[in-house]
Structure 1
Amino acid sequence: MISKSKFIASTYLAVLMSVGSFIASAQQLNTDQQAQLNALKTTALQSDLSYQLIESLTTEVGHRLMGSEGDKKSIVWAVNKMKALGFDKVWTEEVTGSYWLRGEAKARIVAPYPHDVVILALGGSIGTSKEGLTAKVAHFETLADLKAAPDNSLNGKIAFVSYQMERHIDGDGYGPAVGTRVGGAVVAAQKGASALIMRSVGTDNNRTAHTGVMRYKDEVKKIPAAALSNPDADLLVNQLKRGEEVSMYLNMTAKTNAEVVATSANVIGEFTGSELPNEIVSLGAHLDSWDVGTGALDDGLGIGMVMAAAHHIGQLPKRPKRTIRVILFAAEEVGLLGAKQYVKAHKDDMNAHVMGAEWDFGIGRIYKMTPGVGAQSLNAVRELAQYLAPMGVALAPENNAKGQSDMSALSDAGMPSINFSPDGSNYFDYHHTENDTLDKVEPEALKVNTAIYTMYAYFAAQAMVDFRK
């Protein structure tokens, strides 16, 4: 007769064996596929391909503002690179928008203590008159303070918002700062201002200004809008602190050419799945950039990573089950135009997009992965997390991710997503500036992050799970 203690022990062992058997059977990758995943990891960590692609793009093309010659060259570059990397299919899908010209921008503190200062027109801004604009400066610490100003209280003045962006590893300081850039000109115009200047949305102390898109409203008068470098914003604040009236001169030649339609394109390439070719795992980045710097970080990093990741997988003796699609989106900087057009063009097959991820932020290594999938597929995500954990990637407790940037439009259309969070502590030192150049790329971090994207894409293409459920 078996003792009670032996019965309990044997029962406990049976339960453990049952659970172990269940876990083994629930794994999405078998032993051979796990070995393949590790081999891909090694390949990516030893490869310079992603860096070589960024170097090529920034050297041979440079900046890629929507509708510019650089934008057109980048489309040809991307198509040729994808073909050279062995993509099975490569094609483009046209995207159109307005054609904005930056022109020149000059500014000067006229009184009480004259200084030339560094500004950049915000993307989409109008210019001043040919003679420029000289006016007194009305200072507001935040956009909320500007909104609280009485209507017509700024008649004939230049509104200045001095809010300073905070530095965070995840870029959380961007949201509170970017509102002035996007909507501040409308608010300032409603208060009667003749122009808006703002402290750049950036965390650096360089005498370089940060550009970025802004918006007008048809029913509100359009006024010029520009960003001031951080040191020059400090200089202006210091003059204002002295209690004297401060006046500035502003001259901008920016304009939107209404007679010209800017034509660009999404560039798309695929490695066809071996068993389920109509199911798509998408990797995204945006091909355009602002017309300052060379777009190495924003979003050359993403372009190099996703193209290299797909190439590494495409060289396997046997392809994963699902198709891996790389989408290089057009016109992200001016309003996600490429992403919106992609969703419109693919509305009938969005259900075939089983998972997506984009890279459009950060410089350093990825430290966290956040899913946005159905509850039943979380166990598959946890398995992926186990493979990525040795790379320093933690699984977030939340399951609410939307795709970054362009991929957010696909998420809104129902595509499950994974967001990878890299160290972005220094990203906004260079974002949208002349300093967005190749030397800011961290090659070793780039290799690690490319390996992570490669492993993610392979896993998502092999795992026979419906990430929507």
Structure 2
Amino acid sequence: MQRFINAIFFAGIVTIVAFAGPVSALEEKLHAQLDELKSASINSSLSYDIIESLTTEVGARMVGTPAERKSVEWAVAKMQALGFDKVWIEESQAPNWQRGELEVTLTSPFLHKLVALSLGNSVGTDTKPIETEVVKFNNLDALKAAEPNSLTGKIAYVAYSMERKKDGSGYGNAVGARVNGAAIAAEKGAVAYVMRSVGTDSHRFAHTGVMRYKEEGKQIPALALSNPDADLLENALKRNKPVTMGIASSASGPLNDTVTIANVIGEFTGSEHPDEVVTLGAHLDSWDVGTGAIDDGIGVGITLAAVHHIARLKHRPKRTIRVILFAAEEIGLLGAKDYVARRNGNMDNHVIGAEWDFGNGTIYKLAPGVGENALLKIKEFAEYLAPLGVEMASTNNAKGQSDMSELGKAGQPAVNFYPDGSDYFDYHHTENDTLDKVDTEALKINTAIYTTFAWYAANSGIDFRK
């Protein structure tokens, strides 16, 4: 029955798309081209096929692993096969980190094996397992307020539970504990740091993600518990008896050596203004858990499919459309920073950009970051997308998502698309980020939106800075 309902819903959307009247403010020719691209995208499985290829033929793509290097070769070959005119890589260096093995046990007053993951960049236990008392804090602020040396010889545990939000805004309130918690706990004397996973699921999968130490601070093991195991730990703590935990980890921690990373860049050259570039972005790397289907296989699939659909039109876009598959996003936007640095921070020929690096559901909002005159034209495009359920945000301060924000800070105008991310953090950075989780119906619509955006930006003649 649910499949039947979904089929009717999706068919309804396609019907609306097919019979929506033209937007008067758009040129008739441009409108017809957008309709052609929209129809091609919605009736194609290409973006899904690309994700399937990436997750099957490469899989997880953590920086410094053979699979990450293989993903670069895969992306170059895939872009060439899909009709890009020019494909190249730009290499740089990134810190090397290896997860190693981890075993976590609740040792008293009850014995339980716990499911956890080391946080990215964490040190291990130096071949000497830790077993000591756990001290609970409700959130990061409570940990910050702890007295100096109050945690000497103990494990600090932050119990904050992330809130589920359609726009993913609950992540911002939770992620600080992941990034900074271990450094703060170490300052208080803790020998290890444990936190409830930054995720909204109830599955017994832990969520990894990058963390940071202070430059001259003490480095202690940092890990995240699955949500069910965090519940178990807290239930044990309710007994008002000392609770101890054992941790054995061989994570490498920050090393002095580096590994080579590479942005993979492909272009479809403009017919009239080839030096003016419209950028689409996604990140190619992933964590070493799951297969990186949602984070960020979806972005890879959408952006590559968009250019392929455009390449099949009779006429080329006036401006060049460039897809950038960024390296090392997960550990600090390193590929994006290198991209900007290579161009000396000069984004003058970068007309406008958009990235996909969040969500699994259908896009419901467009948020611009353009000049005042260009804002009127973006509103016209938003009206064109309205039959797909997209509304225009009231703000005009977008800088680009994730990697693209580095280009935005350097002066590139941007559009941020907001998909429904209600279930995104059920899978984010877990073993459960796999191909079967991808919402295939939403993917087709989102591909249509990115494809039409790229064509519109490349052919409208708009100076998005003015």
TM-score, normalization by structure 2? 0.94
Task: Tell me what 2:186 maps to.
Answer: 189
Aligned to 2:74: 77
Say yes or no: does 1:130 pair with 2:131: no
Q: 1:13 maps to which residue?
A: none
Counterpart Cα distance in 1 of 2:225 and 2:27: 56
Aligned to 1:44: 41
Q: C-alpha distance in 1, partners of 2:77/2:279? A: 20
Matched, 1:143 2:148: no
Measure, in 2, the Cα distance between the counterparts of 1:137 and 1:131: 18
Which position in structure 2 is the counterpart of 1:261?
Answer: 258
- The 8 Å contact of residues 101 and 257 in structure 1, kept in 2 or not, is answered as no
For residues 34 and 465 of structure 1, what CA distance do their matches in structure 2 show?
15
Residue identity over aligned pairs, in percent, reads: 61
Is residue 2:284 matched to residue 1:284?
no
- Alignment-mate amino acid for residue 295 of structure 1: G
Say whether residues 1:93 and 2:90 are aligned partners: yes
Matched, 1:219 2:179: no
The residue aligned with 1:397 is 394
Secondary structure, in 3 states, of the residue corresponding to 1:165?
A: coil
Q: Bigger radius of gyration, 1 or 2?
A: 1
Aligned to 2:13: none
- 1:358, 1:419 within 8 Å by CA — same for their partners in 2? yes
Local SS of the residue matching 1:159: strand
- After the TM superposition, list the runs of 4 or more consecutive aligned residues in structure 1 that deviate by more than 4 angstroms: none
- 8 Å contact kept, 2:345–2:410: no
In structure 1, C-alpha distance between the alignment counterparts of 2:99 and 2:401, rounded to whole Å: 27
What's the CA shift string for 1:179-203, capped at 9, x where partnerless? 0100001000000000000000000
- Which amino acid letter does the alignment assign opposite residue 460 of structure 1? A
Distance 2:249 2:70 in 1: 27
Partner secondary structure for residue 347 of structure 1:
coil
The residue aligned with 2:16 is: none
Matches of 1:294 and 1:115, distance apart in 2 = 28
User: How much does 1:317 deviate?
Assistant: 1.1
Conserved 8 A contact 2:263-2:325: yes
Residue 337 (structure 2) pairs with residue 317 (structure 1)? no
Q: Is the 8 A contact 2:123 2:254 kept in 1?
A: no
Distance apart, 1:33 and its partner CA: 1.6
Shift of 1:349: 4.5
Q: Does 1:230 align with 2:227?
A: yes
Question: Once the two structures are superposed, what CA deviation does each residue of 1:439-460 show, in whole Å capped at 9, x if it has no partner?
Answer: 0001111000000000111101
How far, CA to CA, are the matches of 2:345 and 2:375 in structure 1? 26
Secondary structure at the aligned position of 2:456 is classed as helix
User: Gapped runs of 5+ residues in structure 2?
Assistant: 1-22
**C-alpha contact (below 8 Å) 1:64/1:295 kept by paired residues:** yes
Cα distance, 1:131 vs. partner? 2.8
What CA distance in whole angstroms lies between the structure 2 residues aligned with 1:31 and 1:376?
21
| Deviation at residue 387 of structure 1 after TM alignment | 1.0
TM-score (norm 1): 0.93
Give deviations 1:160-211, integer Å, cap 9, x for gaps: 0000000000001100100010000100000000000000000000111000
8 Å CA contact 2:340–2:346 kept in 1: the answer is no
List per-residue Cα deviations over 1:112-138 (Å, max 9, x = no partner): 111110010000000003131001001
Letter in 1 for 2:128: E
351, 357, 363: which is aligned to 1:354?
Answer: 351
Q: What does residue 462 of structure 1 align with? A: 459
Aligned to 1:426: 423
Equivalent position SS for 2:97: strand
Quote the Cα distance in structure 2 between the aligned partners of 1:346 and 1:75. Answer: 21
Counterpart Cα distance in 2 of 1:257 and 1:461: 43
Q: CA deviation at 1:260?
A: 3.6
Give the equivalent residue in structure 2 for 1:436: 433
Aligned length: 444
Q: Which runs of 5+ in 1 are unaligned?
A: 1-22
Report the 3-state secondary structure (helix = DSSP H, G, I; strand = E; otherwise coil) of the residue aligned with 1:408.
helix
Deviation for aligned residue 1:291:
0.3
SS in 1 for 2:100: coil
- Partner amino acid for 1:411? G
Task: Find the aligned partners of 1:339 and 1:227 in 2 and give their Cα distance.
Answer: 27
